[in-house]
Amino acid sequence: MTLRAHRVARAAYLRVEAHQNEPDEKKYCAIAHKLPGMILQNGLAQATGFLLAKGGTEHLMLLEDLNAVLQAGGTLNVPNCNALHQAIIAADLNQTLKLTRHALEASGWIKRYVQGLLRVDATGENTDNSGG
């Protein structure tokens, strides 16, 4: 039996690892750095709504990753980004608090793996100093 936190961390690792060497990797990373702060400052519904409204490849990739990590943790089981946002805006107060707490955890893992695996900072610049 695995802990929920381990399932969340593993799912985040796999999702971020899959973005290595993608064309939109740096944009994805820059947004991933900002997601936990967006959730804290604006709320989960506005943060997911923002990502949907932007609709760029990197925005939708991040939202899909958030959905997948939340699913892995057993928080929510919805098929896509739109359904995730709909579930968030339809939630009652207790559900909203739970979803927000779990989304902060998931987005925190995504951010950490962006920093550790992809070596990209909040500006989209590579932080790997081994190249010279």
pLDDT in tens, 86-130: 999 999 999 999 999 999 999 999 999 999 999 887 877 787 765
Residue at 112 is within a domain = yes
Residue at 56 is within a domain = yes
* Nearest to 49, CA basis, from 40, 58, 60: 60
What domain range includes position 31?
4-126
pLDDT-derived band at 54 (thresholds 50, 70, 90) equals very high
* Nearest to 118, CA basis, from 21, 27, 14: 21
SS3 74: coil
Residue at 96 is within a domain = yes
Q: CA 44, CA 38: separation in Å to the nearest integer?
A: 8
CA 80 → CA 43, 62, 117, distances in Å? 20, 12, 25
* Residue 129: per-residue pLDDT: 61
Q: CA 128, CA 108: separation in Å to the nearest integer?
A: 20
Q: CA 15, CA 37: separation in Å to the nearest integer?
A: 20
Please name every residue paired with 126 in a beta bridge, in sequence order, or none if there are none: 120
Instruction: Tell me phi and psi for residue 76, to 5 degrees.
Output: -150, 145
CATH number at residue 10: 1.10.520.30
Residue at 131 is within a domain = no
Percent of the chain topping pLDDT 90: 83
Q: Whole-model pTM?
A: 0.92
Torsion of CA 90, 96, 99, 102, to 10 degrees: 170
Specify the number of domains making up the chain. Answer: 1
